[in-house]
């Protein structure tokens, strides 16, 4: 029997459950969501994405909950694609924004320093492992993560004098042309024709669908051997690259975690070849995976780390952190008008301090394990769930057609249509989730890191009902 959504609402001190959202209720709207959605469809670019699958007009939000203008309440298991580490309107974030507005702080300073910026830099470096941060420098970038990726690509090419960049199947690094050139998904690139030259793609260790047709440790061995061949064989056809760029956990690619041993081997091979290793932590960073940063799970030290999303405490901000030996920039080599967003730095520092002081990484690890166990229970009940994977509160559930023939590793064909039906049924029942991966077949879970076990119970109950309803269609 489905848990009542009201059980997921915040409670008053007296213990009585009150309105699902505790924000002011005195804002009145003179239209309905269908009218807003029709106007959005009429006037907003055809490139819009989320509204096509999540057709909502939102008016309020708090914690893990959002409310649309018709008064319907939803558990937000998307959280701004991982941006909202502390959920919606967390008190420490709101307090920092109010401080910025009342203090006379300049809200925009280009790259001039302020006490806020100075503290923010210290907070970022304090969250990173000492063996990386002690020799690190920070490049402030334009607000989106894709610009920080662009900065990483430029710096690697400037510092090494080389141009080729190695990326991986399934990769997602942003939507600018340079970032698109190292994206695994071909669809966004097909209409553009020429992109930046020099991108070379290699197989990512997708263990459920091994690109080498192997399984387990053999798959890791084969992948690393192939990487070594590409980097060392003078007849591989791949010139020594300026960098290798990788996600420790592919997010948009289907929540695919790289095995620890593979990441360790990749670091060893790139270091031996003198090739900078760029880790993209835009979605996986800031405690989401149970570590401050996903690459820490493998105990490696990269040369560059790309950060955005949660770093601004829900406001736009991105930075590139890199080993000072690579600091070959000339003045103005990478600039951006909005790299001095003081309000985002205040909100980001507040978020980072809360994450550290309240041990949010440990909480994310615990809640992620709790959610993963529940999803694995659903997998035993529904064989159309082919794989459950991820780390912390960055999890994926790959839907498959279990009535079709499995491959020699026992993996069934991906079923994107089933995943889409599950997403739609979840939305009808009050849960916002996203899908991704090959064929859009992976149901993704990216809730705020403050989520409780009771709220996870609500999520699992809704997903269970949604799967059952989707199978019946």
- What pLDDT digit, counting tens, does each position of 134-161 carry? 999 999 999 999 999 999 999 999 999 9
Query: What pLDDT was estimated at residue 3?
Result: 42
Query: What pLDDT was estimated at residue 36?
Result: 87
Identify whether the C-beta of residue 322 lies closer than 8 Å to the C-beta of residue 277.
no
Residue burial 144-179, b: 16+ Cβ < 10 Å; e: rest: bbbbbbbbbbbbbbbbbebebbbbbbbbbbbeeebb
Contacts of 186 (CB under 8 A, 6+ apart): none
Query: What pLDDT was estimated at residue 178?
Result: 87
Contacts of 102 (CB under 8 A, 6+ apart): none
DSSP symbol at 162? -
Topology annotation, domain 5-90+362-472: 3.90.1150
Identify whether the C-beta of residue 201 lies closer than 8 Å to the C-beta of residue 186.
no
Q: Where in the sequence of the chain do the CATH 3.90.1150.10 domains occur?
A: 5-90+362-472
pTM for this one? 0.93
| ∠ Cα 448 97 137 (to 5°) | 75
Identify whether the C-beta of residue 127 lies closer than 8 Å to the C-beta of residue 305.
no
User: How many other β-carbons are positioned within 10 Å of the β-carbon of residue 276?
Assistant: 26
As a whole number of angstroms, the distance between CA 319 and CA 143 comes to 8
- Cα–Cα distances (Å) from 184 to 173, 260, 316, 416, in that order, read 9, 21, 25, 18
The terminus-to-terminus CA distance of the chain in angstroms comes to 20
Beta strands in 122-266 (DSSP E): 136-141, 165-168, 199-202, 243-246, 249-250, 256-257
Q: Which CATH number fits domain 105-357: 3.50.50.60, 1.20.120.330, 3.40.640.10, 1.10.3720.10?
A: 3.40.640.10
**305 pairs with which residues across the strands?**
279, 321
Residues of the chain with pLDDT under 70: 1-32, 194
DSSP symbol at 300? -
Rounded to 10 degrees, what is the CA torsion of 168, 176, 153, 135?
Answer: -100
Angle between helices 342-357 and 91-102 (to 10 degrees): 150
The residue among 266, 278, 264, 257 whose CA lies nearest residue 323 is: 278
**414 pairs with which residues across the strands?**
400
Q: Where in the sequence of the chain do the CATH 3.40.640.10 domains occur?
A: 105-357
**SS3 assignment, position 158:** helix
- Cα–Cα distances (Å) from 251 to 40, 58, 246, 339, in that order, read 27, 25, 11, 25
- Cα–Cα distances (Å) from 157 to 1, 115, 167, 230, 244, in that order, read 57, 33, 14, 19, 11
Query: What pLDDT was estimated at residue 406?
Result: 94
The residue among 419, 417, 412, 447 whose CA lies nearest residue 431 is: 447
């Amino acid at each position: 029997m489905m848990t009542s959504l009201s059980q997921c609402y915040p409670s008053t001190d007296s213990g009585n459950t009150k309105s699902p959202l505790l924000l002011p209720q005195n804002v009145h709207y003179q239209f309905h969501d269908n009218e807003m959605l029709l106007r959005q469809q009429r006037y907003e670019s055809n490139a819009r994405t989320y509204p096509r699958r999540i057709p909502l007009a939102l008016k309020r939000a708090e914690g893990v909950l959002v409310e649309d203008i018709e008064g319907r309440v939803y558990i937000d298991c998307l959280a701004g694609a991982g941006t909202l580490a502390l959920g919606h309107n967390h008190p420490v974030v709101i307090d920092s924004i109010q401080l910025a507005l009342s203090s006379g702080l300049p809200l925009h300073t280009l790259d001039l320093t302020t006490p806020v910026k100075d503290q923010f830099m210290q907070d970022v470096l304090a969250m990173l492992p000492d063996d990386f941060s002690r020799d690190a420098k920070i490049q402030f970038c334009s607000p989106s993560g894709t610009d920080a990726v662009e900065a990483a690509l430029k710096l690697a090419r400037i510092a090494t004098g080389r141009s080729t960049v190695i990326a991986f199947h399934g990769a997602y690094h942003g939507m600018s042309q340079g970032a698109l050139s190292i994206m695994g998904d071909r669809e966004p690139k097909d209409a553009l024709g020429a992109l930046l030259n020099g991108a070379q793609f290699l197989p990512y260790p997708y263990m459920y669908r091994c690109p080498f047709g192997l399984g387990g440790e053999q798959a890791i061995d084969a992948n690393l051997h192939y990487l070594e061949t590409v980097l060392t064989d003078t007849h591989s056809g791949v010139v020594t690259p300026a960098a290798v760029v990788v996600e420790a956990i592919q997010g948009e690619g289907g929540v695919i975690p790289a095995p620890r041993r593979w990441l360790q081997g990749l670091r060893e091979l790139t270091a031996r070849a003198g090739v900078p290793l760029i880790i993209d932590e835009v979605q996986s960073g800031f405690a989401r995976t149970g570590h401050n940063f996903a690459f820490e799970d493998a105990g490696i030290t990269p040369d560059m780390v790309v950060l955005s999303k949660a770093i601004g405490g829900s406001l736009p901000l991105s930075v590139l952190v890199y080993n000072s030996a690579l600091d070959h920039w000339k003045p103005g080599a990478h600039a951006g008008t909005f790299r001095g967003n003081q309000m985002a730095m205040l909100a980001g520092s507040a978020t980072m301090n809360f994450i550290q002081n309240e041990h949010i990484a440990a909480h994310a690890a615990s809640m992620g394990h709790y959610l993963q166990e529940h999803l694995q229970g659903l997998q035993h009940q529904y064989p159309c769930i082919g794989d459950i994977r991820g780390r912390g509160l960055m999890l994926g559930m790959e839907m498959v057609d279990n009535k079709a023939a499995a491959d020699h590793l026992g993996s069934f064909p991906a079923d994107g249509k089933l995943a889409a039906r599950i997403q739609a049924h979840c939305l009808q029942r009050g849960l916002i989730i996203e899908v991704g991966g090959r064929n859009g077949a992976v149901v993704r879970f990216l809730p705020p890191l403050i989520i409780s076990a009771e709220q996870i119970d609500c999520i699992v109950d809704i997903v269970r009902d949604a799967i059952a309803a989707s199978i019946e269609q």
